[in-house]
Amino acid sequence: MKCNPLSRIKINSHYLLLTVILFFIPISLLALSSDRDQPLNLEADTADIDDLKGISIYTGNVILTQGSMVIKSSKLTLYTDKNKELEKAVAVGTDKKLATFKQRPEGKDTDFRARSKTMVYYLKNDKIHLLKQAYVWQDGDTFSGDKIIYDTKKETVIASSKKNKDGKPVSSGGRVKVTIQPKKDK
């Protein structure tokens, strides 16, 4: 029998609220500067928070928002270090519904968007690793591949294809694909 993980937590509501607030103060590092001052909102069907291990797991139609940033996934796991600072966030989707990321970069008119089966956000490095069925796009420019690394600070993208044992792409469908739109004169 599967029970709601929150039903196992035997603490008063004030302590739970304080724990959740402490977990999410450092998550503001996920956002660009204009988003960092915005409140963080997280929705999920279930939450399992282990303060001693520094891991919190959210499952079931997870939606994390802060300012213009939105991460949607089937499961979101947050890892904190011994100082309770968020080290990484892992968002996992399904084959039918990939994990998604959206954010409006500073000074841009359109959102940066990404989707993949798994997203690993390394906060200290300001990088998102998109793994399996990875796809990013902004302003008509697109990148797809088996693995894409997006540097949120430098706004750079590195894409690679899935390789077999010989180091060659698995198939033509597994190759990196890039589309860059011509720049329009203003």
- The pLDDT value given to residue 74: 98
The parts of the chain modelled with pLDDT lower than 70 are 1-34, 36-37, 40, 163-174, 185-186
pLDDT digits (tens, 9 = 90+) for 40-75: 688 999 999 998 999 999 999 999 887 888 999 999
Mean pLDDT computed over every residue of the chain:
77
Please identify which residue in the block is written with the tokens 């399992």: 48
pLDDT digits (tens, 9 = 90+) for 152-161: 778 788 888 8
Architecture of domain 5-179: Sandwich (2.60)
- The pLDDT value given to residue 4: 43
Q: Determine the length of the chain.
A: 186
Question: What are the structural domain ranges in the chain?
Answer: 5-179
